[in-house]
Chains A and B, each alone.
Chain A
Amino acid sequence: MAELRYAEDGRLLFTEEMRKEYKVLVPQMAPYHFDYLVYALQSEGYDAELLKTDDYELIHEGMKYSHNDICVPAMLVIGQFIDAIKHRGYDDEKVALIIVQTGGGCRASNYIKLLRKALEKAKLSHVPIISLNAQGYEKNPGFSITPRLLHKFHDAVLFGDTLMTLTLQTRPYEKHEGETDRLREAIAEELRTYFDHNKVFTWRRNKKMIRSIIERFQRIETVDKPKPKVGIVGEIYVKYSPLGNNHLEYTLEKEGVEVVIPPLYDFFLYSFSSSAHDIERYGGKKRIKWAYRAIIWYIEIRREKIRKMMRRAGFDTPIPFKDLKNLVKGFIDYGAHTGEGWLLPAEMIDLIEHGAPNIVSTQPFGCLPNHIVARGMLKKLKRHYPESNIVAIDYDTSASKINQINRINLMVSNAFRQFEKEDAQ
């Protein structure tokens, strides 16, 4: 075990020594993206490993070490970590954990502190935790978000979003079962070494890779029989994590629909945009506000290039962030940015307006912001878009799956009926 050093506030630090000796465990939060984030970390010299566990033991550990009323994401992430250290053969004296911290008025900002409490209870307080955040909380001597790492993360999210969009549009229609997933796995394998270079800021290399990905997806043989589209929106963890949402994407595809999941990047842009918004409205440093806007501008340039390539290859693309933001104007205020905030209704409107009026709105049981921005907005959405077909599902480790499936089934049945009606016309 490395020497344990503590910050002034008493928090255990991740030191330079640990960086060399420790394995850094990453919880699975979004399967399309997190592999690449881990590759990016590995390329920068961290011995990172993604936890892909998904079983009963993990839930049990989560229950044991977190408050039962805490939201499911916190419980599962805590459970996944503790289960890994206790039962999956990691040396507890040689592991560190990494957790994404969002910030803001939602209780999710507290996850890292809850994780720390849980580790203490589990007698693992010697395991350091690294907070990954945009606000500059909790710095560690052994971990620094260099511009290069940041840019690699940026690429990783872009790859994830691109692969997610391509997969979701291809897999339901593939002629040879399993071809899409095989391709995605092959690409993931190639991307393993993609980040092992230092010229990250140039677009050329990125462009080449993405073009090759798109072309290979284009080559997958598909059946030309349209399916109704069902969108997934919701709290960021249960929206993307199969562990959180009982494999919703898989369930829906089995029902015979095409699933649409909005890109992860929009969530980050929404967070930056919200920070800028608050400075504008409640006061703060103008310099920071402009910095956020510049970041959004820069990222959107890259994203637009990718969207163009995808469109040219005949794929549907997510709309630009600016347009997404405009959709919700007059519907809910940009000041509503606790949790998923205005992004959630914006994504729902986007889906409705772009051929996917059927939506599963996922939320952890008892999620506070979702009372407002998800369930709270359904009536207004229905008023503006009578054709919308939205089901709100609460996710909880104790909730019975049959109840969830039954409600999803109702939404899907209606989706098919509407789809056939439109088809007949």
Chain B
Amino acid sequence: MDAYRVGIDIGSTTIKVVVLDENDSIVYDDYKRHMSSISESMKAMFAKLSEQFSEEKMRFNFTGSAGLSLAKHIGAQFTQEVISATTALRHHVEGIDVCVELGGEDAKIMFFEGDNVEQRMNGTCAGGTGAFIDQMAALLDTDAAGVNKLAKDYERIHAIASRCGVFAKSDIQPLLNQGARKEDIAASIYQAIVNQTVGGLSQGKKIQGKVAFLGGPLTFSSELRRRFIEYLNLENVYTPENGEIFVAIGAALEACEAPMSIPDLIERIKAYRRKEKKDARKTMDPLFESEEAYEAFKKRHDKASLEYKNPSEYEGNAYLGIDAGSTTTKMLLISEDHDILFEYYAHNRGNPVEVGRQALKRMYDTLHEGITIKKAYSTGYGEELIKHAFRLDGNEVETICHYRAAKHFEEDVNFVVDIGGQDMKCFQVEDGVITSIILNEACSSGCGSFVETFSESMGYEIDEFADLAVKAERPVDLGSRCTVFMNSSVKQAQSEAAKTEDISAGLAMSVVKNALYKVIRAHDVKEEFGDTILVQGGTFNNDAVLRAFEKETGVEVTRSNIAGLMGAFGAALIAKDAAQPAPFNHSTMLDVRGLQEFTYKTKRATCKKCENHCSLTINIFDNQHRYISGNRCEKGAGFDKGYEEIPNLYLYKYDKLTRYQPEEGRTYEKTVGIPFVLNMYENIPFWQPFFDALGLKVIYSDRSDKALYEKGQDTVPSDTVCYPAKLVHGHIESLREKQPDFIFYPNMPHNLDENPHADHYYNCPIVALYPEVIEANIDDMDEKLFNQPYLTLNNKKKFIDAMKDALAPYVSVTRRALSQAYDTGMDSYRAFREDVQKEGERALEYARANDLKTIVLAGRPYHVDPEINHGIPKLIRSLNVVLISEDAIHHLAREDNVNVLNQWTYHTRLYDAAKAVAPMERVNLVQLVSFGCGLDAITSDEVKDILEDAGDIYTQVKIDEISNLGAVNIRLRSLLSTMEREKDADGRA
């Protein structure tokens, strides 16, 4: 008889072992979570295996991402996991068209066409699926099985970003805080996975026919499968019974090398471990040189402390601060002398109101009549919700609270760095005014909670985990881009047998580096922000992180003993500041009785007041008080104030662009379809009159929305390209439905040469050449339907040459007609630009006359698309602020050059807008950046320099397909609040 064949699949989270006999029957199988310690787990599994097979020689074949280096080094056979899966599938079932395999870290898809198999794996930026579900489950306070159970009872699906775990988390947290149902969120998480698989993996190939589902998540969760089946309209689905060991079966089937015995294999693994340990990894210096150094460090940080006071020993006034953060609720009650009377810290567990109720109840239990709560303030993501629920006296934006608290410990603090579970916030203080606010964007989210989640997955309490780091001798470098990248770096380090303490220290360094180089973008913190630095946020409770920060910056910083409660402390201090000295005044907050009778219900609704169709959550407290969340603008909140007349260039331009329409009643011979995308937001005022003059009727694609995006998402070839570009696919599909005679979408490497002081007038590579991507990826489109010439508008003669060729297949036009049409188009375009600039000037004048603040939201022409800007313009309007776009103000700038190669027209406007804003009072610039816009890595630094050289605040808002405006809201309100304080300071001076 031939030797048994053993397939060993070492994935990112589990090890699977399968033994096949000569008839391909499974005679043994085993499945184990390796808890990131592969060698130990392997040893245990081999021990078990040898119970049945003792020293018999068998053919071993390894597979799986973590098995690769092991197999290589011990000289064993290795088969790539996708190949193993393919083999197993072919062996078990016939006629499969597509196979979707979702693993812990990787997602794969296989398309079968006869003998040909096309296999794909997810890109670097697409987070793993199993790990993703685990993380999301933690947010919902359950496990992977719990998510599945919840998803069964869903009613509606929320839009959750599918780019990666970090992004999805940023979407889920506000949903939780707004009181969305967990069942709905669970189903939405699955839908996000489906979207990612369809959009990111299939890349233009349809998932249809007979589809096989493999891998842990798809095997174990019925609801995830259901989402796939419903979304893709699948009828014929194959899910193997033993899906979790399926890849190992494939490896066993492929096993063909010389047989080995188990003891022999174990010996080889041991030798490999010894060798591995000697191999140098990318390691860094230890956090502490010695035990003494650590002791000194601890002593130094014990200084900044608040005292605790037993409430029973206190009589008098008290002030309450509640920090309703994105993942946790923090509460602090302080005495007149700033002693802590009561503190509370808990995870929101998806229900911040309930957590708040419990916290208040507990607080009331410890208090007595001699203590009067004079004022109670809330802050943080959920500040409005909490304020309305418990009828607090007020709320304050969190940056201001943090500053207030920081000042308590360091009167002269000039830089505050807050690393919480989800967000990082930093701000600079000069002369008592916050002058610069830095908030992380989506990619850097969740670094703090990542350390915690990770330590839990290793079976450590976070404190123990931090203690380990302190003793680490060779911290591992784990990169700093984002937690998804860190996660896979950790997996790699583990597979290379790194010690837990070195990983713990490495993670602390990664968090700090992410904060310093990614968020703060400082090369020398001391020089740029001064040396009186206060650090806070729950993450800094971790001594390793604190030390890493000091080590990396070379500054000795201050951390208080309430690092995680600073927001609540700040809110309490502000409550105290706001309290009147009058003896009978007390807080409006619900009292003990009110709290006992407190009821809370939520209802869901969709706002129909404009095309944004925001999903609203209506919170009803005590059957009477309503608080609406989820809305972007004032309309959703239930009141229409006179905001309409506040100038808003984004709304103005969008409205104006949609008015370039063919004449009604005129009969046109042919129709030309123009996708409402990218540079068309700049050029439609040219193209519509141009074609109209030629007797062609222009029809546009539909307004952008999620549904339109989804129509085209399966042909998007690159998952890291910006959202405005991804939308193009949907617009083309929309146009095809309208059946124009042809679709016109030209490649335009160059823009109009409008700024003599700039170095060049390019379009960005995406804007310039995206028609090529459409042509290459929407392959069921008639070649003749899609017209994508290369054009310039700068040279009339060359333009006419090119257009004559381009239009020849559809209409015959003379050069003279083209020439006239060109002139008509250019006149219209120029009129449009002048009009926009005039409106910009009018807006500035209006702001001045009405003493309003102005924000210049500086992005690109296509950012006026409400699906791209997610309603930020309306949000700004509802804050009673005038909004101007970069192309309505750039002409007011002085015409000199900048410190970077100034070669893209849209960016030249950006720089000029910044230069124009710099000297203006009460006008601030906010840069709007699309995720994946590589050029903004250059522009954002330059715009920041221009503004900061003039003493202005630089704020950046990064947007993607995410529709979560919570973070944007905090940014804008912090900015406005600072502008307000600056004005006050000026007024005093």
Kindly state the separation between the CA atoms of A383 and B100 in the bound complex, as whole angstroms: 21
Q: Is residue A314 within 8 Å, beta carbon to beta carbon, of the partner chain? A: no
Most chain B beta carbons < 10 A, residue from A401, A406, A414: A406
Residues from chain B with Cβ under 8 Å of A113 in the complex:
899-901
Chain A min CB distance to B183 (Å): 34
Q: Is residue B749 within 8 Å, beta carbon to beta carbon, of the partner chain? A: yes
Q: Is the CB of A121 within 8 A of B941?
A: no
Stretch at the interface among A147-155, A259-267, A392-400: A392-400
Q: Is the CB of B125 within 8 A of A282?
A: no
Residues from chain B with Cβ under 8 Å of A397 in the complex:
479
Q: Is the CB of B492 within 8 A of A335?
A: no
Q: Is the CB of A105 within 8 A of B768?
A: yes
Q: Is the CB of A105 within 8 A of B795?
A: no
Chain B min CB distance to A385 (Å): 12
Q: Is residue B927 within 8 Å, beta carbon to beta carbon, of the partner chain? A: no
Chain B min CB distance to A247 (Å): 14
Kindly state the separation between the CA atoms of A258 and B703 in the bound complex, as whole angstroms: 51
Q: Is residue A190 within 8 Å, beta carbon to beta carbon, of the partner chain? A: no
Stretch at the interface among A13-21, A288-296, A346-354, A374-382: A374-382
Residues from chain A with Cβ under 8 Å of B488 in the complex:
399-400, 402-403
Q: Is residue A106 within 8 Å, beta carbon to beta carbon, of the partner chain? A: yes
Residues from chain B with Cβ under 8 Å of A417 in the complex:
83
Q: Which of B79, B80, B749, B773 contacts A406 (CB 8 A)?
A: B80
Q: Which residue of A lies closest to B725 (CB)?
A: A371
Q: Is the CB of B523 within 8 A of A372?
A: no
With A335-B749, A379-B776, A406-B65 as known contacts, state yes or no: A372 contacts B766, CB within 8 Å: yes
Q: Which residues of A contact B (CB under 8 A)?
A: 9, 56, 63-65, 67-71, 104-107, 109-110, 112-114, 116-117, 121-122, 278, 281-283, 332-333, 335-336, 338-339, 365-373, 375-380, 382-383, 386, 392, 394, 396-407, 409-410, 413-414, 417
Q: Is the CB of B524 within 8 A of A121?
A: yes
With A67-B937, A105-B768, A332-B776 as known contacts, state yes or no: A406 contacts B725, CB within 8 Å: no
Residues from chain A with Cβ under 8 Å of B765 in the complex:
105-106, 338-339, 368-369, 371-372
Q: Is residue B596 within 8 Å, beta carbon to beta carbon, of the partner chain? A: no
Main secondary structure of the interface of A (DSSP, over half): helix
A-B contacts, 12 of them at CB < 8 A, read A69-B936, A104-B762, A107-B935, A110-B901, A281-B798, A281-B802, A365-B124, A366-B932, A378-B203, A382-B118, A400-B492, A410-B119
What does the 1/0 interface line of B753-784 toward A look like (CB < 8 Å)?
Answer: 00000000011111011101100110100000
Q: Is residue B951 within 8 Å, beta carbon to beta carbon, of the partner chain? A: no
Q: Is residue B747 within 8 Å, beta carbon to beta carbon, of the partner chain? A: yes
Q: Which of A65, A281, A371 contacts B721 (CB 8 A)?
A: A371
Kindly state the separation between the CA atoms of A409 and B762 in the bound complex, as whole angstroms: 39
Q: Is the CB of B125 within 8 A of A405?
A: no
Known: A107-B937, A278-B749, A371-B765. 9 other contacts (CB 8 A): A67-B941, A107-B938, A110-B903, A110-B938, A121-B523, A338-B769, A377-B776, A396-B485, A413-B80
Stretch at the interface among B32-40, B255-263, B513-521, B669-677: B513-521
With A332-B772, A336-B772, A379-B717 as known contacts, state yes or no: A109 contacts B766, CB within 8 Å: no
Chain A min CB distance to B444 (Å): 9
Q: Is residue B442 within 8 Å, beta carbon to beta carbon, of the partner chain? A: no
With A371-B725, A376-B718, A376-B776 as known contacts, state yes or no: A68 contacts B518, CB within 8 Å: yes
What does the 1/0 interface line of B714-748 toward A look like (CB < 8 Å)?
Answer: 00011011000100000000000000000000010
Q: Is the CB of A282 within 8 A of B798?
A: yes
Interface residues of B in 779-800 (CB under 8 A from A): 779, 790, 792, 794-795, 797-798
Q: Which of B125, B517, B762, B935 contacts A63 (CB 8 A)?
A: B517
Kindly state the separation between the CA atoms of A367 and B124 in the bound complex, as whole angstroms: 13
Kindly state the separation between the CA atoms of A400 and B484 in the bound complex, as whole angstroms: 10
What does the 1/0 interface line of B68-92 toward A look like (CB < 8 Å)?
Answer: 1100000000011111000000000
Kindly state the separation between the CA atoms of A184 and B650 in the bound complex, as whole angstroms: 61
Q: Is the CB of A400 within 8 A of B479?
A: yes
With A69-B934, A333-B772, A372-B765 as known contacts, state yes or no: A379 contacts B203, CB within 8 Å: yes
Q: Is the CB of A405 within 8 A of B68?
A: yes
Residues from chain B with Cβ under 8 Å of A392 in the complex:
123
With A110-B938, A282-B794 as known contacts, state yes or no: A413 contacts B79, CB within 8 Å: yes
Kindly state the separation between the CA atoms of A372 and B934 in the bound complex, as whole angstroms: 14
Q: Is the CB of A402 within 8 A of B747?
A: no
Chain B min CB distance to A32 (Å): 26
Chain B min CB distance to A270 (Å): 15
Kindly state the separation between the CA atoms of A113 and B747 in the bound complex, as whole angstroms: 28
Kindly state the separation between the CA atoms of A399 and B489 in the bound complex, as whole angstroms: 7
Kindly state the separation between the CA atoms of A109 and B795 in the bound complex, as whole angstroms: 24
Q: Is the CB of A64 within 8 A of B901?
A: no
Q: Which residue of B lies closest to A282 (CB)?
A: B792
Chain B interface category by residue count: 35 or more
Kindly state the separation between the CA atoms of A105 and B792 in the bound complex, as whole angstroms: 14
With A106-B765, A116-B899, A371-B725 as known contacts, state yes or no: A281 contacts B523, CB within 8 Å: no
Most chain A beta carbons < 10 A, residue from B518, B762, B903, B938: B938
Kindly state the separation between the CA atoms of A398 and B443 in the bound complex, as whole angstroms: 13
Residues from chain A with Cβ under 8 Å of B900 in the complex:
110, 113-114, 117
What does the 1/0 interface line of B278-321 toward A look like (CB < 8 Å)?
Answer: 00001010000000000000000000000000000000000000
Chain A min CB distance to B382 (Å): 30
Q: Is the CB of A117 within 8 A of B904?
A: no
Q: Is residue B897 within 8 Å, beta carbon to beta carbon, of the partner chain? A: yes
Residues from chain A with Cβ under 8 Å of B119 in the complex:
410, 414
The list of the 3 closest CB pairs from A to B, nearest first, reads: A398-B479, A398-B481, A69-B937
Q: Is residue B249 within 8 Å, beta carbon to beta carbon, of the partner chain? A: no
Q: Which of A332, A368, A405, A410 contacts B83 (CB 8 A)?
A: A410
Residues from chain A with Cβ under 8 Å of B203 in the complex:
378-379
Q: Is the CB of B485 within 8 A of A399?
A: yes
Chain B min CB distance to A392 (Å): 8
Q: Which residue of B lies closest to A9 (CB)?
A: B897
Chain B min CB distance to A232 (Å): 18
Residues from chain B with Cβ under 8 Å of A114 in the complex:
900, 938
Residues from chain A with Cβ under 8 Å of B763 in the complex:
105
Kindly state the separation between the CA atoms of A403 and B125 in the bound complex, as whole angstroms: 11
Q: Is residue B66 within 8 Å, beta carbon to beta carbon, of the partner chain? A: yes
Q: Is the CB of A67 within 8 A of B940?
A: yes
Chain A min CB distance to B665 (Å): 38
With A67-B940, A372-B770 as known contacts, state yes or no: A400 contacts B777, CB within 8 Å: no
Kindly state the separation between the CA atoms of A335 and B747 in the bound complex, as whole angstroms: 8
Kindly state the separation between the CA atoms of A68 and B125 in the bound complex, as whole angstroms: 15
Q: Which residue of B lies closest to A337 (CB)?
A: B749
Most chain B beta carbons < 10 A, residue from A110, A117, A414: A110
Q: Which residue of A lies closest to B552 (CB)?
A: A64
Chain A min CB distance to B747 (Å): 6
Q: Which of B479, B762, B770 contacts A399 (CB 8 A)?
A: B479
Q: Is the CB of A407 within 8 A of B937?
A: no
Q: Is residue B375 within 8 Å, beta carbon to beta carbon, of the partner chain? A: no
Kindly state the separation between the CA atoms of A184 and B80 in the bound complex, as whole angstroms: 34
Q: Is the CB of A402 within 8 A of B68?
A: yes
Residues from chain B with Cβ under 8 Å of A399 in the complex:
124, 479, 481, 485, 488
Q: Is the CB of B769 within 8 A of A365?
A: no
Residues from chain B with Cβ under 8 Å of A396 in the complex:
124, 481, 485
Most chain A beta carbons < 10 A, residue from B124, B203, B770: B124
Kindly state the separation between the CA atoms of A392 and B122 in the bound complex, as whole angstroms: 10
Chain B min CB distance to A304 (Å): 30
What does the 1/0 interface line of B795-837 toward A look like (CB < 8 Å)?
Answer: 1011000100000000000000000000000000000000000
Q: Is residue B116 within 8 Å, beta carbon to beta carbon, of the partner chain? A: yes
Most chain A beta carbons < 10 A, residue from B66, B517, B772: B772
With A338-B765, A372-B773, A398-B480 as known contacts, state yes or no: A407 contacts B121, CB within 8 Å: yes
Q: Is residue B502 within 8 Å, beta carbon to beta carbon, of the partner chain? A: no
Kindly state the separation between the CA atoms of A63 and B522 in the bound complex, as whole angstroms: 10
Q: Is residue B477 within 8 Å, beta carbon to beta carbon, of the partner chain? A: yes
Q: Is residue B978 within 8 Å, beta carbon to beta carbon, of the partner chain? A: no
Q: Is the CB of A105 within 8 A of B776?
A: no
